[in-house]
């Protein structure tokens, strides 16, 4: 890995074995859209992350992320609300989010996202159309914010990501499968 290269890992529930198998330099994003009753899992995840030194972000729930004193909130591309720009939050708390096109990048800028996840950079099961490195860089150059590569990331295409403006990657399956210790 390149020095200071950020890695984000999406999880949807607390799994001690899975979390114990990853490097503490990896940032965790708790994202559970299928079950609205995730608070117990989130609190277990928060407690584990604080104990082990992980940064934890909550997807799409700013108030709960602030209440639980997490490192920040992750705003998915479908969240287009612009209520995040006049908040009285600590400097340590970060707002990050994802985008698929220029219009969504502009929304994430208005939401005060410090980092914008551009996706999908590579083919995934969910998305057959993807950016690849050239379109990724064209999109990345539409913002002055830091960008993170999301989607289809694996060891085989990691070198390609190093040739982009990306300061890191976000993944689900690659990290789940490899742990990245």
Residue of 156, 135, 157 lying closest to 147 (CA atoms)? 135
Distance CA 55, CA 27 (A): 5
Per-residue tens of pLDDT for the chain, all 181 residues: 455 899 999 999 999 998 998 888 899 999 988 888 899 999 999 999 999 999 999 999 998 999 999 999 999 999 998 876 556 676 789 999 999 999 999 999 999 999 999 999 998 887 778 999 999 999 999 999 999 999 999 888 989 999 999 999 998 877 766 655 4
Burial of residue 127 (CB within 10 Å: 0-12, 13-18, 19+) is middle
User: Phi and psi (nearest 5°) for 86?
Assistant: -120, 40
Examine residue 65 and state whether it is found in any structural domain, yes or no: yes
Does residue 1 form part of some domain?
A: no
- In a domain, residue 131? The reply is yes
Residue 172 belongs to some domain of the structure: yes
Task: Confirm whether 115 is domain-assigned.
Answer: yes
Asked whether residue 35 is assigned to any structural domain, the reply reads yes
Is residue 163 in a domain?
Answer: yes
Distance between CA atoms of residues 8 and 168, nearest Å: 8
Give the domain extent around 113: 6-178
CATH number at residue 18: 3.20.20.70
DSSP state of 169: E
Per the domain annotation, does 145 fall within a domain?
yes
Task: Please count the structural domains in the chain.
Answer: 1
State pTM to two decimals.
0.91
pLDDT, position 86: 58
């Amino acid at each position: 890995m390149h020095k200071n290269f950020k890695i984000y890992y999406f999880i949807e529930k607390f799994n001690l074995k899975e979390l114990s198998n990853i490097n503490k330099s990896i940032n965790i994003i708790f994202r559970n859209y299928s079950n609205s009753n995730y608070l117990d899992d989130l609190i277990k995840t928060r407690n584990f992350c604080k104990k082990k030194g992980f940064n934890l972000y909550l997807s799409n729930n700013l108030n709960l992320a602030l209440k639980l004193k997490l490192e920040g909130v992750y705003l998915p591309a479908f969240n287009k609300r612009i209520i995040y720009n006049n908040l009285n939050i600590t400097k340590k708390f970060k707002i990050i989010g994802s985008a698929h096109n220029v219009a969504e990048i502009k929304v994430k800028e208005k939401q005060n996202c410090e980092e914008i996840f551009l996706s999908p950079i590579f083919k995934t099961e969910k998305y057959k159309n993807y950016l690849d490195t050239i379109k990724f860089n064209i999109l990345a150059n539409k913002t002055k914010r830091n960008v993170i590569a999301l989607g289809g990331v694996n060891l085989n295409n990691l070198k390609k990501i190093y040739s982009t403006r990306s300061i890191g990657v976000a993944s689900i399956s690659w990290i789940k499968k490899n742990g990245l210790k």
